[in-house]
Copies of this chain bind each other. A is one copy, B any other.
Amino acid sequence: MKILNHSNILGLEKFYRRTFMNAISGYRSGTLIGTKSENGQTNLAVFNSLIHVGATPPHLGFMMRPTTIERHTYENIKKTGFYTINHITSSIHKNAHQSSAKFPRNVSEFEACGLTEEYLEDFHAPFVKESVIKLGMSFAEEHFIKSNNTIFVVGKVEYIAIDENIVQEDGFIDMEKADGVTIVGLDAYYSGQQLGRYAYFRPGDKITPILS
């Protein structure tokens, strides 16, 4: 085992530390956040920090570094109140990665990265046509994380468009069937293989697979 304490971590070479510390949280979500500015300019950016905040009412959260590349996304969310979250599939993961580049403000990453803008009903923000799980979100609250000058953004799920073939009878979504990807660090994309799904466990139970 390699052992590092806090000062060993701070003493690591800058790029090594960035790569290492970004990977140490392990597997993360792989999503594209779509927004549209007040004057109609669309924006798309890859995010790997989506987390479940609560199911009733449904809210999801993600981390933002609003002073970097992500600032167009942040500005659009704050000004318009809406954004979309689109799950990355393995078929579009290379396109998704390209959206992490610093494109000028007047370039839409949809076009630059070979992905298709899609509008569903009257929802303000653009969805990614190629995605099979698309969420329309409204801004709910934000929390400034003073430890790192980052922002935790929480949104309400207003709208869901999902391929019904990947939703099981009890509501479970099989991400392997959805061709979903998970991200490690800033630049590595993985597909998933289900090891098992297990019934709610009570002390004294045997572990019981849920078969689908």
C-beta contact mask, A153-179 vs B, less than 8 Å → 1, else 0? 010111111111001001111111010
Min CB distance A1 to B, Å, is 5
Q: Are B148 and A54 in contact (CB under 8 A)?
A: yes
Count identical subunits in the complex: 2
Chain B residue with the shortest CB-CB distance to A143: B143
Min CB distance A99 to B, Å, is 8
Interface of A is mostly: mixed
Q: Are B26 and A133 in contact (CB under 8 A)?
A: yes
Min CB distance A198 to B, Å, is 5
Q: Which of A90, A152, A202 has the most CB of B within 10 A?
A: A152
Q: Are A145 and B59 in contact (CB under 8 A)?
A: yes
Q: Which residues of A (176-212) have their CB < 8 Å from a CB of B?
A: 176, 178, 180-182, 184-203, 205, 207, 210
Out of B5, B51, B174, which one reaches A51, CB within 8 Å?
A: B51
